[in-house]
Amino acid sequence: MIHAHPGKNHQVSPPTRACPTCSIPLDSEYFDESGVTETEKADQEEVLTPGQEVVLASFELPPQYCGVLEYFSQFTDVHAEEPAQIRTPDIQWRISINRRPLYPYLALDRIVNPWGYGSFPVSIRLDENARLEFIVRRVSKGKSHHIKRIGGRIMGRYWYNAAYGDVV
């Protein structure tokens, strides 16, 4: 079978077999990446200084694979102790795909999907070979919040995309 781009005079590869209920390809795999970092050492020396950013979690789809981001979650030690403490005015959270910020997760200043509470699902398409990153950035050294530990988690699925190669 010849594989081609749409609009050309060639046969197109058959669609990937998908679940009849959810339409997710049968060969899909999960990814679940997370990371935790300290903002200060035990002696209160800053580790994450204003202007500095850290990639908490990342995942790169293999070549010829596409996927979907299904969940992300956030953690701070302050929120873990007191769930009402959702604001993070000194810390911004961002999700990016191939180094481009992903709207609407450009510069969150609060916890919108707390880690451990069953975050709200999202369904964001990831193109072939995409690199997904969950980044945190320290914007200032605030006196009202004493966040010492932050974490992020990204979860989703990925599968082989027959449009990028031969299917036997």
pLDDT tens, residue by residue, 52-81: 999 999 999 998 898 999 999 999 999 999
Alpha carbon distance 156, 30 (integer Å): 6
Say if CB 154 and CB 57 are below 8 A apart. Answer: yes
Per-residue pLDDT, 30: 93
Say if CB 1 and CB 12 are below 8 A apart. Answer: no
Instruction: Report phi then psi at 162, rounded to 5.
Output: -60, -20
The domains of the chain are located at 30-164
Closest-CA residue to 28 (of 18, 43, 20)? 18
4 pLDDT tier (thresholds 50, 70, 90): very low
- 3-state class of 63 per DSSP? coil
pTM (2 d.p.): 0.80
What's the mean pLDDT in 122-137? 94
Closest-CA residue to 125 (of 58, 74, 70)? 70
Instruction: Enter the tokens of residue 26.
Output: 């049968």
What's the mean pLDDT in 154-163? 86
For domain 30-164, give the CATH number. Answer: 2.60.120
By mean pLDDT, which of 45-54, 67-76, 120-129 is the weakest?
45-54
Per-residue pLDDT, 23: 67
